[in-house]
Amino acid sequence: MQLGKIKLILVLVLTLTFIFTTAVYSVSEDGWKGYGLFNISGSTITLINEDVSVELQNDKLGYNGEVLIRNYSNKIAYASLGMPSQGIEKITFMEKNSTLKWKKRSYGSLQNEFNIDDRTPKEDFWYVINLTLNPGETKLLNVKLEAVQLQEDQSSYIFTYFNDRKLGFSNQAEKSSLYISMMDFQPYNILALQGIEPNQIGIKGDIVLKADNIDTVSIKYMNVTKAVMDRLQSSAMYMPRQIALAFNSKNYNKASSLSDEYIKNPNDSEISVELIQFIKAESLRRLQNNDKYLSIIEGIDYSKLYPLELKNKIIMDRMSIYLEQQNQEKLFNLYKELEEDTSESARILKNWVENSSVFGAVQINKDNLFNEIQQVEEKAEQPKFKIEQWYNLALAYKYAPAIIFGAGLLVGIILSRLRFKRKKKKSMYIYRM
């Protein structure tokens, strides 16, 4: 009986280990990699136009693409088009209003049948459709899919598209367009861009790319608030998990009071007190208590926060409050702080701020305000600068001490002679009757 229990425990442990390692593998390896349709049969069909719309939300991706293909030859074309699995959870191919049947094929079977070259992505399996096009015929295909995003680490994701342009059997369109919509968009959630300029990001997080040939584009992003909550929920201690539970349930009063308790008695070395102070402040901000929010957040050491990109969210929220308060001096100082940050995420946020109609409406004249501050500083320091200039000029000479002594002696002699002349003069008074 005892042996049977041990066997059962061993089986459970092995099962859980397998599930855990599979989950870890899916986080690091499996996910959307940005491959489109491949003409794996090497048919003579031509991809004329490709219009793709993508929605991004945390670890999920929604894809809706229209592909216009044409057979320019004077013979019937038999084409096999395929898309690598790359984290796809659901996929549909349609022509007009008819759903096309697809087959799930292994990479090995495609290699044997079509002799695809080594540059073609070696995904475990592919979704494949077969088409027949008459001479000169054009067909419009619609591809809809849902996929899991490729996860770079615990909290950040990478969206990529047009990643197949220089690979074997890639079906590069003569004209392409890509529309990206980031759901629950916040500019501070974007960490890095490739093939996209910051000024191409719209106010609501939409990106439109149109070109005859679009190279690889990618967006690295992170929901920084979610990353904070994930860190707390992974704590081995009870209180951080309770704070995250209250915050995620939008019970911000409770999250605030629990944060106070934890700050008095921190017990997880992996979670800084500053991070809990941020949650306390953020709870107050969401309760519309901006003054208390600022009193806490303005004194936090950003370098002790996780993730470090949380700093950009704080800057953005503080800017919004300063705008409401019409506090241009603090707003300008905060902008200067953002301007001095050379990180990619700060550059993206700064560009978004400069192009934002919300901030533009307040008509912040950065240059004028900067000039005013400079003039005030120059007036305050002007006397000191004159003394320093004379002093530095004197010290610039080899015999500076002798020059200084001589100048002092000369001034002394002149003053003495002036006093002597005054003594020699007699006072004369004229009395008038």
CA distances from 109 to 79, 80, 102 (A): 16, 13, 15
Print the SS3 string covering 289-301.
Answer: CHHHHHHHHCCCC
Which residues have C-beta within 8 Å of that of residue 402, sequence separation ≥ 6? none
Print the SS3 string covering 10-56.
Answer: HHHHHHHHHHHHHHHHHHHCCCECCCCCEECCCCCCEEEEEEEEEEE
Q: What is the mean pLDDT of the chain?
A: 80
Domain contains 431:
no
Domain contains 432:
no
DSSP class of residue 333 equals H
Mean pLDDT of 357-374: 53
**pLDDT higher than 90, residue 10:** no
List, for residues 259-269, the tens digit of each pLDDT value: 999 999 999 99
Q: What is the pTM of this model?
A: 0.74
Identify whether residues 247 and 172 lie together within a single domain: no
Identify whether residues 23 and 68 lie together within a single domain: no
Alpha carbon distance 150, 369 (integer Å): 44
**pLDDT higher than 50, residue 425:** no
**pLDDT higher than 70, residue 399:** no
CATH number of the CATH domain containing 295? 1.25.40
Identify whether residues 248 and 390 lie together within a single domain: no
Identify whether residues 264 and 195 lie together within a single domain: no
Identify whether residues 206 and 100 lie together within a single domain: yes
pLDDT value of residue 416 = 56
Instruction: Characterize the bridge pairing of strands 103-106 and 190-194.
Output: unpaired
Instruction: Characterize the bridge pairing of strands 156-161 and 175-182.
Output: unpaired
Domain contains 15:
yes
Identify whether residues 64 and 210 lie together within a single domain: yes
Q: Domain tally for the chain?
A: 4
Phi, psi torsion values for 427, nearest 5 degrees: -80, 135
What b-and-e string marks burial along 83-104, b requiring 16 or more CB atoms within 10 Å of the CB? Answer: bbbbbbeebebeeeeeeeebee
Identify whether residues 322 and 248 lie together within a single domain: yes
Of 222, 241, 258, the domain-final residue:
222
Identify whether residues 81 and 204 lie together within a single domain: yes
Alpha carbon distance 90, 125 (integer Å): 14
Which residues have C-beta within 8 Å of that of residue 212, sequence separation ≥ 6? 174, 175, 176
Phi, psi torsion values for 178, nearest 5 degrees: -135, 125
Q: Is the CB of residue 107 less than 8 Å from the CB of residue 37?
A: no
Identify whether residues 326 and 387 lie together within a single domain: no
Element at 65 (helix H, strand E): strand 60-70
Provide the residue range defining the domain that includes 395.
382-424
Alpha carbon distance 183, 258 (integer Å): 30
Q: At what angle do helices 344-355 and 328-340 cross, to 10 degrees?
A: 140
pLDDT value of residue 166 = 65
Domain contains 113:
yes
Domain contains 374:
no
CATH number of the CATH domain containing 90? 2.60.40.3680
Identify whether residues 20 and 51 lie together within a single domain: no
Alpha carbon distance 275, 381 (integer Å): 40
pLDDT value of residue 171 = 59
179 compared with 211, residue with greater pLDDT: 179
Domain contains 329:
yes
Alpha carbon distance 309, 219 (integer Å): 15
Instruction: Characterize the bridge pairing of strands 46-57 and 175-182.
Output: parallel
Domain contains 218:
yes
Phi, psi torsion values for 128, nearest 5 degrees: -125, 135
Identify whether residues 237 and 178 lie together within a single domain: no
3-state DSSP helix/strand/coil % of the chain, to nearest 5: 45, 25, 30
Cα 96–Cα 101–Cα 105 angle in degrees, nearest 5:
135
List, for residues 132-184, the tens digit of each pLDDT value: 999 999 999 999 999 999 988 778 999 998 766 666 656 567 788 899 999 98
Domain contains 135:
yes
**pLDDT higher than 70, residue 224:** yes
List, for residues 309-349, the tens digit of each pLDDT value: 999 999 999 999 998 998 888 988 888 898 899 999 999 99
Alpha carbon distance 198, 366 (integer Å): 20
Identify whether residues 251 and 352 lie together within a single domain: yes
Of 222, 251, 267, the domain-final residue:
222
